Amino acid sequence: MNMSKAKRAIGIFDSGIGGISVLKEMHRLFPHEDLIYFGDSKFAPYGEKLRSEIMARCTEICEFLISKGVKAIVIACNTATSAAVDMLRERYPNLPIIGMEPALKPAIQQSRSHYVAVMATPFTLSEKKFSDLMKKHQENNTIIKIPCPQLVQIAEHNELDDIAKIHDQLHQYFDEVDQDKLDAVVLGCTHFIFFKKHIQGILKDSVRIIDGNEGTCRHLMDILRERNEINDAETKGSVMIYNSSKEDDILELSYE
């Protein structure tokens, strides 16, 4: 085992607070790993920015995490993955960098009607990366793309208690979808975990709501296992959270 690297932290970042759900899943599944999270709430949402702007932010955040000595980085953001993962892997060839993509494959596998909706940012849904993913699964399946930029804003503006606003927004997204056929919804943005119970509340009980958090975490650990860089300490790992925004409510949300 590479003891020096095994003891290093794993870096996780997102355009804001959405990736906290990935942080929590990583800590649940692999409690002995030290984790460092960076949320870029000051510059959120990424889904409405130019690719060049997203790439610049991702590079700056990775430099920050690398300065903390991380052994791997998880891009806990579908939009940032679409825009920057290839560039980051080329820039840091010796550092495992794991991205996220909408969990379309498991949704298709679990769907009985083969009628699936994917909620994501406009940027993610318009990118070639997602287009290629859709092409792999379009045969014999109906895949509905639902761009949801407003949900990111609601989360980042700490409006998660405004149930009426959330439900109004969700109805705008889903009222045009064939509710009789729909039986799986993919959460293609880590911010959308905050709205899971509300989404379930306006859809049939039989609809499965699927995210890619666990699969992403396990994929990273498989890579670290191959590199002999798993932290096998018996003590519980530490969790550090940073955010580009200095707003108190954002920091409080991050620790909830």
Write out pLDDT tens, residues 74-99.
999 999 999 999 999 999 999 999 99
Give catalytic residues, as residue numbers: 77, 189
Place of tokens 């759900």: 21
Cross-strand bridge partners of residue 144: 117
Question: Is the pLDDT score of 256 beyond 80?
Answer: no
Question: Is the pLDDT score of 218 beyond 90?
Answer: yes
What per-residue confidence (pLDDT) applies to 248? 59
Q: Identify the CA nearest to 37 among candidates 244, 246, 247.
A: 244
Question: Is the pLDDT score of 1 beyond 70?
Answer: no
- Give the strand order in the sheet containing 239-243: 97-98, 72-75, 10-14, 35-39, 239-243
The torsion of the CA quartet 73, 250, 42, 85, rounded to 10 degrees, works out to: 20
Question: For a pLDDT cut of 90, what percent of the chain falls above it?
Answer: 87
Confidence of residue 132 (pLDDT cuts 50, 70, 90): very high
The dihedral built from the CA positions of residue 65, 70, 71 and 76, taken in this order, carries a sign that is: negative
Q: Identify the CA nearest to 119 among candidates 204, 180, 200, 54.
A: 200
What's the angle, vertex CA 53, arms to CA 49 and CA 55, rounded to 5?
Answer: 115
